[in-house]
Chains A and B, each alone.
Chain A
Amino acid sequence: DQQVKQNSPSLSVQEGRISILNCDYTNSMFDYFLWYKKYPAEGPTFLISISSIKDKNEDGRFTVFLNKSAKHLSLHIVPSQPGDSAVYFCAASTMYNNNDMRFGAGTRLTVKP
């Protein structure tokens, strides 16, 4: 029972354009959402988060949007750079509890020069 789904296994964009990565969740109790980024042979690293009291959070080139009614969040990267090429994982939890965090399967982003 995958409570967090990333339906696009891969995404390819041109350098300088926008990358949009999508994530859907089924558990309405989730109230804290995160994106992690993973390079090959490394562990995931935290990128950005959002709590359910907000619908948008920005950090430099990265913006996460949350649509609670649709149980959907997205990560926007503008402008995309070749160094952004990685696997991006969406994650969700309740009340900031890491012990019930659920991860999506990941989307592999390739940014072409």
Chain B
Amino acid sequence: NAGVTQTPKFQVLKTGQSMTLQCAQDMNHNSMYWYRQDPGMGLRLIYYSASEGTTDKGEVPNGYNVSRLNKREFSLRLESAAPSQTSVYFCASSESLAGVQFFGPGTRLTVL
């Protein structure tokens, strides 16, 4: 089992460019999440999907969109990247909203 996988591992964008971060889990989990981690701050929830077919905003959703493509995959899209979105992005999954979360290795994104 690979657990939670994320692609790409690293990405550099110019301001205004768009990109999609991919996440997949092979644990048959219902719930999936996208977080960002900035220096000196804890992980902050961007969006989550409680179950296949549903998505909801987290603490810091502005500038992002998500798609729960199927039970396995949950993507995060930046339509017009800004330097403030420079961060490390983590995807996670859990059996339910009450379950322990399993995290992917992260994507380090730099927006110039």
Contact = CB atoms under 8 A, between A and B. Distances in A.
A102 B44 CA distance: 7
A10 interface: no
Contacts of B48: 98-99
B42 A96 contact: no
The 9 A-B pairs at the shortest CB distance, nearest first, are namely A43-B103, A103-B42, A96-B98, A103-B43, A46-B100, A44-B103, A104-B42, A98-B97, A105-B42
Nearest to B57: A99
Nearest to A39: B105
Interface of B: 4, 31, 33, 40-45, 48, 50, 56, 58, 90, 92, 94, 97-106
A32 B58 CA distance: 18
A75 B90 CA distance: 24
A103 B103 CA distance: 14
Contacts of A102: 42
Given A98-B31, A99-B50, A99-B56, A46 B101 contact: yes
Given A43-B105, A45-B103, A4 B42 contact: yes
Query: Which size class do A's interface residues fall under?
Result: 20 to 34
Contact of A99 (B40, B97, B100, B106): B97
Which one of B58, B97, B105, B106 has the highest number of Cβ atoms from chain A below 10 Å of its Cβ?
B97
Nearest to A104: B42
A99 B43 contact: no
A105 B33 CA distance: 18
A2 B44 CA distance: 10
18 contacts: A34-B100, A41-B105, A42-B105, A42-B106, A43-B4, A43-B92, A43-B102, A43-B104, A45-B103, A91-B43, A98-B31, A98-B33, A98-B48, A98-B98, A98-B101, A99-B58, A103-B42, A106-B42
Contacts of B101: 46, 98
A101 interface: yes
Interface string A80-106: 000000000101000111110111111
